[in-house]
Chains A and B, each alone.
Chain A
Amino acid sequence: MKLLLLTVKNMRRNLIRSTLTALGTMVLVFVFTLIWSVLSFLDAVTAEKTENLKAIVSERWQIASQMPYAYAPTLAEGAARKPADVHPVDSMTWSFYGGTIDKEKRTRENTFFAFAMAPEKLATMMDDLELKSLPAKDAAEMRRVIDLMKQKRNGTIVGWEKLKQMHKRVGDRFTVNSFNYKDIDLELEVLGQFPDGRYNQTSVINCDYLNAALDAYPQSHNGKKHDLADKALNLVWLRVPDTEAFSRVQDQIMKSPLYTQPAVKCETAASGIASFLESYRDLIWMMRWLLAPAILLTLSLVIANAISISVRERRREFAVLRVLGFRPRHILVLVVGEAVALGGFAGLASAGGTYYVIDHVFGGFNFPIAFFGAFFIPAAAILWGLGAGVATALLGSVVPAWSASGIQVTEALSKVA
């Protein structure tokens, strides 16, 4: 215990050096925490579940998937036709609708992108928005807004960050000049916003409103259907209880004669997202295997440098400790302990601070990859920070500590005598 106290006191020996080392560690742990948060999220969404899993149905041979909306009712039932066929527990359709709220000035701020879907499905099918998983206050507000959206088909729910970006507030109305649905310009009313979190940049509109606009299109265009009228269904999400049910539903859909023009595929959400992320494979690989290790290596070198200088300066002190009866292992523990305490403290403080600031002050951080909006720092990151700080400190201090423990007492003190 007293040796531990000595270790901590040694950190005060050169406050500037200790502070700079801690700051260097904190900056690197901060970057590491951000990177690892993105990677762990992607790992989580591409990890196969065995229970209560989601399946994605999309067009088989084309990205982006564009299926006729007529597929939706039967796909929602998992293409079940016989009494023994398996039905999904729940389902949701997605159509991607994007445009600008100022066609004269197309900027990122003016761009509006929304999932067109059935409002009720927000409460049951969207990850982290299921009412049962929300705090009571947020759940009540979401319930109110969903019910309102069912009544007002032109309603939209927008994340607070996106609203702020567009300089809009709840209750405002605006018209979207669509990029992908040419001439389907929707007038929308902001009914509410999502709870603070991963949907801060997301918007949702009622699919019935989009479909009604597509249905009305021929009336103003000499009876001609819109180009996307039969391609308005981008994704169908199905919830199934387990992997066996998924296999059955997949089989039912893939063998169904209903989906031939175009053909569809059914895969787990994890597999579907993984396919989607395939185009980011190199970027993700570099983040995981080059950037993150490079940060950890740099961190080790920063600590190794600081500890080496400290050990060189304290050669005589270690020699005196050896004279007093301290064994090499005591010296080893003192030096490694000092580095580990410093690295652990800085790592913990940095990851804890990152978690608080990113999640609770900024409401996530934007990292434009696939269709994911804001990323969040998981609470477990606090432990990663501690672990990264401790592990790199250990790695960086072993060699200087070993050299300190093997100090030749007579040699170190001979310069004095």
Chain B
Amino acid sequence: MVGRRSLRELVPPYEILRNKRVSDNGFAVRLIDIHRFFQRGSERLDVLHGLTLEVPHGEFLALMGPSGSGKTTLLNLIAGLDKPSRGEVWVGSDRISDYTESKLTPWRTRNIGFIFQFYHLLPVLTAYENVELPLLLLSLSARERRERVSTALEIVGLSQRLHHRPGQMSGGEQQRVGIARAVVTDPKLIIADEPTGDLDSRSASEILDLMQELQKSLSKSIVMVTHDPRAARRADRMRFLDKGSLVDKPPDSFLLDSQEALA
């Protein structure tokens, strides 16, 4: 990766983005008997039923499964974007399934970093300004913000492209800006929804390298949804979702899809 320094070379200042808020229970995420259904008129659509999952601190977990298996719903629950119909969602020591929307919103800024498949950067803002965006919601001085943004962009190897807009960058570079935006608030947990889904294999590999470094050097816990078995293999652990339940082995339909993807 051109221009990116190893995280180990960045001590300090990258320490400001290292997760120092590990809670006592040892888990970054705990889902207990989660049910999620949606009511569509008289019809009830069960998406998740009785799902239990534990993600230890500092783990990189890959969630896989065929389309419609409930992966995104699960991510939304962990991120506090949705609430379970039944069950408990714990992120660190926070039982967020009980939180109100007004409590969840600021909680998300501090505790969750998001990486999206299509980057979702604001096209009118520069790389620097995109990364700075979540920091505007925190009580930080301009100097603190500058320090954090510069460090985050240096970590992802884009310190030379601070003032470029998304339209002036490649897909891989945009995703790196997205990663810098995800870590800049020093969240406990990073949620990645198909982070390599829109990238060529070389850029995808670089992004996965970076995510592994974030996990190891900054002690971030990562939950990643992916269809790509090569991406999933970079994680510490893989779990499969099939029809709203976690299973140990990939379902047959998913294996067929994956073989086609790899072909």
Contact = CB atoms under 8 A, between A and B. Distances in A.
Interface of A: 2-3, 6, 9-10, 12-13, 316-317, 320-327, 330, 409-410, 413-414, 416-417
A326 B120 contact: no
B125 A316 contact: no
12 contacts: A2-B136, A320-B114, A320-B116, A323-B81, A324-B181, A325-B134, A326-B105, A330-B137, A409-B81, A410-B82, A416-B117, A417-B193
A325 B105 contact: yes
B114 A324 contact: yes
A325 B136 CA distance: 10
A325 B72 contact: no
A323 B105 CA distance: 8
Interface of B: 71-72, 75-76, 79, 81-82, 102, 105-106, 108-110, 114, 116-118, 120, 122-125, 129, 132-134, 136-137, 181, 193-194, 225
Contacts of B105: 322, 325-327
Given A2-B136, A322-B105, A317 B120 contact: yes
A414 B72 contact: yes
Nearest to A326: B137
B124 A416 contact: no
Given A9-B125, A410-B81, A417-B194, A323 B118 contact: no
B194 A325 contact: no
A325 B112 CA distance: 10
Nearest to B72: A417
Contacts of A326: 105, 137
Contact of A12 (B71, B120, B124, B225): B124
Given A9-B124, A12-B124, A324-B109, A416 B134 contact: no
Contacts of B106: 325
Contacts of B225: 417
Nearest to A3: B136
Q: Which of the listed residues A6, A320, A327, A414 has the most CB atoms from chain B within 10 Å of its own CB?
A: A320
A413 to B, nearest CB: 8
Given A2-B136, A12-B124, A325 B76 contact: no
A325 B120 CA distance: 15
B124 A10 contact: yes
A317 B116 CA distance: 12
A321 B181 CA distance: 12
Sorted nearest first, the 3 A-B pairs with minimum C-beta distance are A325-B109, A417-B72, A9-B124
B82 A323 contact: no
B7 to A, nearest CB: 23
B120 A316 contact: yes
Given A13-B124, A409-B81, A410-B82, A325 B116 contact: no
Contacts of B81: 323, 409-410
Contacts of B123: 13
A413 B73 CA distance: 11
Contacts of A13: 123-124
Contact of A324 (B72, B75, B102, B134): B134
A416 B116 contact: yes
Contacts of B72: 414, 417
A26 B116 CA distance: 40
Contacts of A321: 133
Contacts of B125: 6, 9
Contact of A410 (B71, B76, B109): B76
A330 B79 CA distance: 20
A62 B209 CA distance: 97
A200 B102 CA distance: 64
A417 B110 CA distance: 23
A12 B110 CA distance: 30
Nearest to B112: A323
Nearest to A409: B81
A85 B123 CA distance: 80
Contacts of A320: 114, 116, 120
Contact of B118 (A6, A324, A416): A416
A310 to B, nearest CB: 12
B96 to A, nearest CB: 14
Contacts of B114: 320, 323-324
Nearest to A321: B133
A408 to B, nearest CB: 10
Given A13-B124, A320-B114, 15 more contacts: A3-B136, A6-B125, A10-B124, A12-B124, A316-B120, A320-B116, A321-B133, A322-B105, A324-B133, A325-B105, A325-B109, A410-B82, A416-B116, A417-B75, A417-B193
B117 A417 contact: yes
Nearest to A5: B129
A327 B108 CA distance: 11
Contacts of A325: 105-106, 108-110, 134, 137
B181 to A, nearest CB: 8
A2 to B, nearest CB: 5
Nearest to B137: A325
Contacts of B124: 6, 9-10, 12-13
Contacts of A324: 108-109, 114, 133-134, 137, 181
A285 B75 CA distance: 62
B245 to A, nearest CB: 19
Contacts of A3: 136
A9 B166 CA distance: 14
Given A417-B193, A417-B194, A323 B133 contact: no
